[in-house]
Amino acid sequence: MITYKSVNVQDISVFYREAGPKDAPALLLLHGFPSSSHMFRNLMPLLADRFRVVAPDYPGFGNSGQPDIDQFHYTFDAIAAIMDEFLSVIGLHSFYIYIQDYGAPIGFRLATMNPTRIKGIISQNGNAYEEGLSPAWEPIRKYWQDKSSENGKALLGLLTKSFTKTQYMEGCRCEEAVSPDTWNMDQYFLERPGNAEIQLSLFYDYRTNLERYPEWHAYFRTYQPPALIVWGKNDLFFTVDGALAYSKDLAKCEIHLLNTGHFALEEDAELYATLIKRFHDVTV
């Protein structure tokens, strides 16, 4: 059974889903843009017999609180700090991280804060290498170089319902397998008053993740966390080269390229669950 809870962290309500025994190996599920813990709704029941699975929503996403942009600094550093405190509040001290999209820069910040608590990494299109960024990033790169209102307005198209749907549909094998609840729910939260400004702030701050890549690579080489890379190879934003790059720094790196897109769980949740359980068996 999945339970739905909220805790207060720095005066922000952090919503999370949880399933599985409290004393089981823990798996922290970190969602991407523009989604929430809802993206793990199909995976969690498949893992709850073996893991304590915890999936939070970040501030400004999903069912968590959305402080005004002048009350909370929407950066990846700030969100990672909230997630770090969230883990302390719920008593999660040693765990595997499952990262997707924005979950990667948040998860790797958590890992470098306290490397010994990370038992392993599972990456679903969670990028950590320059070569993993596709040409679709060019409008955002332009915003990094010139944070003008004109360049910001050009990115508002990334927050429309049509583009949210595209992120789910692009590269998938069977469009009929993807529930419209996915993009409709994401869009509901994106259209809350003030959320566009939050997302633009995170688009701009994403440049700091590239600056952190060398630090994360050093963490990989030093601590050698076992890694399972399961990548939708038709992703609009993150290329196959980003998946393969992990093997440069990680000796224990299992890579699978799936014929699907950015939100691979929509088609392949059962395969992910099988691979994760097998990965756990060989890493304990």
Q: DSSP letters along the chain, please? A: --EEEEEEETTEEEEEEEES-TTSPEEEEE--TT--GGGGTTHHHHHTTT-EEEEEPPTTSTTS----TTTS--SHHHHHHHHHHHHHHHT--SEEEEE-TTHHHHHHHHHHHSGGGEEEEEESS---SGGGB-GGGHHHHHHHH---HHHHHHTGGGGSHHHHHHHHHTT-S-GGGS-HHHHHHHHHHHTSTTHHHHHHHHHHHTHHHHHHHHHHHHHHHHH---EEEEEETT-SSB-HHHHHGGGGT-SSEEEEEESS-TTTHHHHHHHHHHHHHHHHHHH-
> Residue 279 pLDDT more than 90?
yes
Tell me what the mean pLDDT of segment 241-255 comes to: 97
pLDDT at 79 > cutoff 90: yes
Say yes or no to pLDDT of 77 above 90.
yes
**In the chain, % of residues over pLDDT 70:** 100
Region 19-34: mean pLDDT is 98
Quote the mean pLDDT of the chain.
Answer: 97
Domain 3-283: what homologous superfamily? Alpha/Beta hydrolase fold, catalytic domain (3.40.50.1820)
Could you give the CA distance from residue 70 to residue 59 in angstroms, rounded to a whole number?
14
pLDDT at residue 284, rounded to an integer: 80
- Position 154 scores a pLDDT of 96
Task: Give the residue-averaged pLDDT of 89-112.
Answer: 98
Question: Mean per-residue pLDDT for 118-129?
Answer: 98
pLDDT reported for residue 182: 98
Predicted confidence band of residue 209 (pLDDT cuts 50, 70, 90): very high
Catalytic positions, written as ranges: 262
Residue 257: pLDDT band by 50, 70, 90 thresholds?
A: very high
pTM of the predicted structure, to 2 decimals: 0.98
Q: Rounded mean pLDDT of 127-147?
A: 98
Residues 6+ apart with CB under 8 A from 163: 157
